[in-house]
Amino acid sequence: MKIGLIGCGNIGKFILQSINKNGILPGSRIDGIFARNLDHAQQVAVEYSTKAYSTVHDLLQSDIDVVIEAANIQAVKAYSTTVLEHGKDLLLISVGALADRAFFDQLKNICQNKGTKIYLPSGAIGGLDVLKAAMSIGELKSVSITTRKPPQALPGAPLDRESVLFEGPASEAIDQFPQNINVSIILSLVGLGTDKTSVKIISDPGVTKNNHCIEAAGSFGKLTLQVENDPMPSNPKTSFLAALSVLSTLKNRNERIQVG
């Protein structure tokens, strides 16, 4: 599998290290990267033995099979349609962009017309299989997520006390915390939607890890799932599990037997 990468920050470098240097996905390689800062992209390309492209269009003209977005919501909005229209599959990390329903529908229509796919890693959470199963017959009644992180991971959080920074629907949470609560959009997409998925974000100087508590109820019964994630060493805003889920999604892309 030949892979293109948009963005070469902390997660992008982790993916490059894992695939191009550590060989964690045999038979796969990141053949090209694009970033807004071409000089930086060229430096990264040399370090990880790949090629930097000056435009996304040039990247898409190569023989890559799938593109990974590892940048931000703005990059998703700017490049996703182009990637899909060129017949390339797309793996999104900044899934918060899909909170925009019109944009989501636009991408879905392109996929249907071009025969392409969008992959959304589970990120830093679990329990998605339960929600999908419940929604298959429309029997999911409520979904909520409470996220507790150290203040350094949350912009504007007080450093000396616990504080509830947000409480409301996922549709509003992703606007205020676009780098911190992508997990709520994943829950929304497999569940009740962004307006009916409840989110609470807590800054807590007493914790060193990113904590997520997911609660759901429906005809299946009740789900309570607590996940305690170590942050990436290079970026306290991102759970290490979120980066690992990207590799898992790529690995499962061509598996003949898929679970879940």
Length of the chain, please?
260
User: Could you tell me the sign of the dihedral formed by the alpha carbons of 41, 46, 48, 50, in that order?
Assistant: positive
Listed range (66-75, 170-179, 224-233) with the worst mean pLDDT: 224-233
Active site residue 212: yes
Report, as an integer, the average pLDDT of 178-185: 90
Q: What is the pTM of this model?
A: 0.92
3 state DSSP class of 128: helix
Domain range list for the chain: 2-120, 128-237
- The yes/no answer on whether domain 2-120 falls in CATH 3.40.50.720 is yes
pLDDT of residue 212: 95
- Of 80, 58, 68, 71, the closest CA to residue 20 belongs to 68
Listed range (33-37, 140-144, 243-247, 254-258) with the worst mean pLDDT: 254-258
pLDDT of residue 214: 97
User: Could you tell me the sign of the dihedral formed by the alpha carbons of 113, 114, 115, 120, in that order?
Assistant: negative
pLDDT category at 236 given cuts 50, 70, 90 is: low
Say how far apart CA 52 and CA 231 lie, in whole Å. 28
Pairing of β 29-34 and β 51-53: parallel
Question: Which listed residue (40, 57, 86, 212) is catalytic?
Answer: 212
92's tokens: 């999104």
Does 231 have pLDDT greater than 90? Answer: no
User: Could you tell me the sign of the dihedral formed by the alpha carbons of 143, 192, 198, 228, in that order?
Assistant: positive
pLDDT of residue 260: 65
Say how far apart CA 99 and CA 49 lie, in whole Å. 35
**Dihedral angle computed from the Cα positions of residues 25, 30, 31 and 33, in that order, rounded to the nearest 10 degrees:** 180
Per CATH, which fold does 128-237 belong to?
Dihydrodipicolinate Reductase; domain 2 (3.30.360)
How high does pLDDT run on average in the chain? 94
How many percent of the chain have pLDDT more than 70? 99
pLDDT category at 255 given cuts 50, 70, 90 is: confident
Give tens-digit pLDDT for 41-89: 999 999 999 999 999 999 999 999 999 999 999 999 999 999 999 999 9
Give tens-digit pLDDT for 120-171: 998 888 889 999 999 988 889 999 999 999 999 898 899 999 999 999 999 9
